[in-house]
Amino acid sequence: MKLFTLLNHSLAQEQRAQIHTLNITEIISLNTESTLDSSSGDLWGQIPPEMADISPLLQPYKQALQAQSSKGDYLLVQGDFGATYAMVEYAKSLGLIAIYATTLRESKEILNKDGSITKQNIFKHCIFRKY
């Protein structure tokens, strides 16, 4: 089984470990130009917020999924809400299992010598959930 990813970041070590419990044999990032066969590789993390209709931007991702996936494969997708929703719906129409990662956030406040406070957020992977 394959796992296709559409994320704004790389997979964490904990995520990679859990992915293998899903019987995934291949991880394919849709954020690369070679996977998309176009120059849209880094677009997923930079969808223009002022653009009303983003469907043309999603076409390369949809085409890659259609060409490379099989029913029962997974799509791990997170990002722009509208783009994520559209890709989840499309993945489901192909018979894919759309999932997202949940995280536990630990927040620390560090008092600096000058009296200012630095806030540090640490995100730890918990589980994958189906959309």
Whether 35 shows a pLDDT value over 80: the answer reads no
94-104 pLDDT, tens digit per residue, is 999 999 999 99
Q: How far is residue 94's CA from residue 65's CA, in Å, rounded to a whole number?
A: 9
Whether 110 shows a pLDDT value over 80: the answer reads yes
Domain extent listing, the chain: 2-130
DSSP string, 79-130: SSHHHHHHHHHHHHHTT-EEEEEEEEEEEEEEE-TTS-EEEEEEEEEEEEEE
DSSP string, 28-60: EETTSHHHHTSS-TTGGGG--TT-S--HHHHHH
Whether 88 shows a pLDDT value over 90: the answer reads yes
